Structure 1
Amino acid sequence: MPTPRLWDLSPPVSAASPIFPGDQPFALQWTARIGPDCPVNLSAVTTSPHVGAHADAPLHYAHGAPAIDEVDLAPYLGPCRVIHAIDVGPLIRPEHLAHAAQNLPPRVLVRTARQADRQWRDDFSAYAPDTLAWLAAQGVRLVGIDTASVDPATSKSLDAHQQLRQHDLRVLENLVLDEVPEGDYELIALPLKWVGACASPVRAILRSLP
């Protein structure tokens, strides 16, 4: 039996990683180094949980909603479809996904860019709110995107995030889908159990199906 192929959807995380303006950048410092009096290297990290590939918790867009340690893990693991909607404009609409919408699995990741952003830009593609409602009506439980947010960078009402809340959808943002063909896979993208946090980094991968 052939070994399943893996696609790593997580961008490198470093001090150079693009962040939403005003967010906390990633920083790593060494608190101990191997030497005569120390047997190990130890590092300490400060970061926003929204740097790199990450899972938003409902708490991110609603007071009193579950933090990331409280969410069900099931949506982050299982059958998934990657759909290409490259260069479709500022909003992904149902018609951009319709060509691959038959018998959707519970997880849908949308590739919008020819190459995932290596620097911050505020004109990335996002989901139209009605697209998320349409996906939820078809049984989708998790959506993902290869940009910084499911909402436009300038949005203050966060209409797409509010659709996530209304339909109890989970979400992955900042994925790298550059090399992933359209089709069906197994998604593995589990969030960390960060108590009380509004999001968590994930090491998101796709695995080819038998």
Structure 2
Amino acid sequence: MIIDISPAIDPATPVWPGDTPFGRTLRWDQTRGDSVTVSTITTTTHLGAHIDAPLHVREGTADTSKIDLNACVGSCVVIDISDLVGRDHRPHLAPQCAEIVARLQHTSPETTRFERVLLRHSTAAADGWDDNMPGIDPEFVTWFGAQGGKLLGIDLASFDPAEDAVLRAHNAAVDAGVIMLEGLELQHAPQGIAELIALPLPLLGADAAPVRAILRTTSTHPIDESTQP
């Protein structure tokens, strides 16, 4: 079974405030008598489900064409941490490293090294831009890379809160060699193990690239419904 975890793209798709939204115009149009329909699109590279290249936060580092595709395909663990977000009337409060690690180990106790992990922060699809986006604890990103992590995916627009100009989680990912997969829709992704396929476009010199991300269940890696919260 395939579970699509990429949001549909249209001009209403939220982007970082001030960034370029998605737009599409018709260069040729069959309804105008042309023999074909051909579109021109304008957009930020950080649109919908996308992968941030190290170049996004660190000049002179790898662009999207250098992303390791092997890391973008393979077994992954999906965990729900929505109940850990926004406690104490602080909607931007991110779950702490120890909390995420504990949830991860509870969800997949047989796993000794987590190479790909998807974090579900919300049980609903994004509805516009969220100024209270919690981001990820940079300590968890560092821990994830140190134990052998390759790719970390989230259902948030960014690894860091909107007000964090230092971008600590992004930089922790670059330091740890962890691929950053952002903007997923995980509300229909059950917790447990599945196969992830999330291949970025090879945009030469680009700081990010859209992906079509899916989860696929297999006979050897079934999603474990018993781990649902």
**Offset from partner CA, 1:37-57 (integer Å, 9 cap, x none):** 632100000000111010000
Q: Percent identity?
A: 38
In the alignment, the residues of structure 2 paired with residue 66 and residue 80 of structure 1 have an alpha-carbon distance, to the nearest angstrom, of 24
In the alignment, the residues of structure 2 paired with residue 72 and residue 135 of structure 1 have an alpha-carbon distance, to the nearest angstrom, of 17
Which residue matches 1:91? 94
Could you tell me which of 7, 17, 31 is aligned with 2:3? Answer: 7
Which residue matches 1:74? 70
Could you tell me which of 42, 47, 50 is aligned with 1:46? Answer: 42
- Does 2:104 align with 1:100? yes
Could you tell me which of 194, 197, 200 is aligned with 1:188? Answer: 197
- Structure with the largest fraction of helix: 2
**Offset from partner CA, 1:91-149 (integer Å, 9 cap, x none):** 13223321322424310000011213121011122111101111112211100100111
In the alignment, the residues of structure 2 paired with residue 179 and residue 95 of structure 1 have an alpha-carbon distance, to the nearest angstrom, of 25
Which residue matches 2:118? 109
For normalisation by structure 1, the TM-score amounts to 0.94
The one-letter code of the counterpart of 2:204 is: V
Paired residues, number: 206
Q: Is the 8 A contact 1:184 1:209 kept in 2?
A: no
In the alignment, the residues of structure 2 paired with residue 205 and residue 8 of structure 1 have an alpha-carbon distance, to the nearest angstrom, of 5
Alpha carbons of structure 1 residues 106 and 40: separation in structure 2 relative to 1, 3 Å: same
Alpha carbons of structure 1 residues 164 and 38: separation in structure 2 relative to 1, 3 Å: same
CA-atom RMSD in angstroms? 1.4
Q: Secondary structure at the match of 2:212?
A: coil
- Does 2:159 align with 1:132? no
The one-letter code of the counterpart of 1:95 is: A
Q: Is the 8 A contact 1:109 1:143 kept in 2?
A: yes
Q: Secondary structure at the match of 1:109?
A: strand
Q: Is the 8 A contact 1:92 1:131 kept in 2?
A: no
Q: Secondary structure at the match of 1:63?
A: coil
**Offset from partner CA, 1:51-95 (integer Å, 9 cap, x none):** 101000010010001110122211111010001100423213223
In the alignment, the residues of structure 1 paired with residue 33 and residue 103 of structure 2 have an alpha-carbon distance, to the nearest angstrom, of 62
Q: Secondary structure at the match of 1:204?
A: strand
The one-letter code of the counterpart of 2:141 is: L
Q: Give 1:10 shift.
A: 0.5
Which residue matches 2:181? 172
Alpha carbons of structure 1 residues 182 and 35: separation in structure 2 relative to 1, 3 Å: closer
In the alignment, the residues of structure 2 paired with residue 80 and residue 92 of structure 1 have an alpha-carbon distance, to the nearest angstrom, of 20
The one-letter code of the counterpart of 1:52 is: G
Q: Secondary structure at the match of 1:126?
A: coil
Q: Runs of 4+ in structure 1 displaced over 6 angstroms?
A: none
